[in-house]
């Protein structure tokens, strides 16, 4: 764990504070006319997603956490755990469902994701901006119900429920935005 000066903060940097791991969302160096310089920051908790604001004196020492990003392939589900394989060492890793958070709704067998790890604990999952998933179940569009922009719920192969246009049917492949969880287009 390296000590870093508050003057050297950058967006995306991860800090180990007494409350846990926080990533720097925004920072601003302030040099008032009177008194010493200080750094105003917005920090996001890596586990809960809560954002806090902190002010540090200029040149105050903080502990930087080293986050290991490993590209892994999702193999299968084993009860409450997801089994991933490291693409470089072929080592398998069993991950609790709770560690993946909402990102588990976008992962299907064979997909590659980047797991952000602090030692052996998973603190985040990097997904592509959009994923292609198959519709497992949706009601057929009703004949004559052609209101412009009308939507219906559809359950995807991962269990995620999204609102899709009436012309989309069971078995169709659709592209879903992983940031918002919304339907983008039919593939």
pLDDT above 80: residue 47: no
pLDDT by residue (tens digit) across 55-82?
A: 998 888 999 888 888 899 999 988 888 9
Report which of 124, 131, 140 is spatially closest to residue 160, judged by C-alpha positions. 131
Confidence bin at 172 (pLDDT 50/70/90): very high
pLDDT band, very low/low/confident/very high, at 176 (cuts 50, 70, 90):
very high
Task: Set out the domains of the chain in order of their start, with CATH numbers.
Answer: 2-64 (2.30.30.30), 68-126 (2.40.50.140), 130-186 (2.40.50.140)
CA distances from 56 to 3, 5, 61, 100, 102 (A): 14, 10, 9, 32, 33
178: nearest Cα among 143, 109, 134, 132:
132
129 Ramachandran zone, left/alpha/beta (phi>0; psi -120 to 50): alpha
Tally of CA atoms within 13 A in the half-sphere of 102 that contains its CB: 10
Q: Is the pLDDT of residue 143 over 90?
A: no
User: Range with the lowest mean pLDDT among 74-78, 123-127, 133-137?
Assistant: 123-127
pLDDT, residue 52, reads 92
Q: Which residue has the tokens 């994923």?
A: 131
């Amino acid at each position: 764990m390296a000590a870093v000066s508050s003057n050297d903060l950058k967006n995306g940097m991860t800090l180990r504070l007494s409350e846990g791991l926080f990533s720097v969302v925004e920072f601003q160096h302030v040099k008032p006319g009177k008194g010493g310089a200080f750094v105003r920051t917005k920090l996001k908790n890596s586990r809960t997603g809560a954002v806090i604001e902190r002010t540090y004196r200029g040149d105050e020492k903080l502990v930087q956490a080293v986050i290991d990003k490993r590209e892994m392939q999702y193999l299968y589900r084993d009860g409450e755990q997801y089994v991933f394989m490291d693409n470089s060492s072929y080592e398998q890793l069993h991950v609790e469902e709770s560690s993946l958070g909402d990102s588990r709704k976008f992962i299907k067998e064979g997909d590659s994701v980047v797991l952000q790890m602090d030692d052996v604990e998973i603190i985040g999952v990097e997904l592509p901006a959009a994923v292609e998933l198959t519709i497992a179940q949706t009601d057929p569009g009703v004949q004559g119900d052609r209101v412009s922009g009308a939507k219906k719920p559809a359950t995807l192969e991962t269990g995620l429920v999204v609102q899709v246009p009436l012309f989309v049917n069971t078995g169709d492949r659709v592209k879903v935005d992983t940031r918002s969880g919304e339907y983008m287009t039919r593939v």
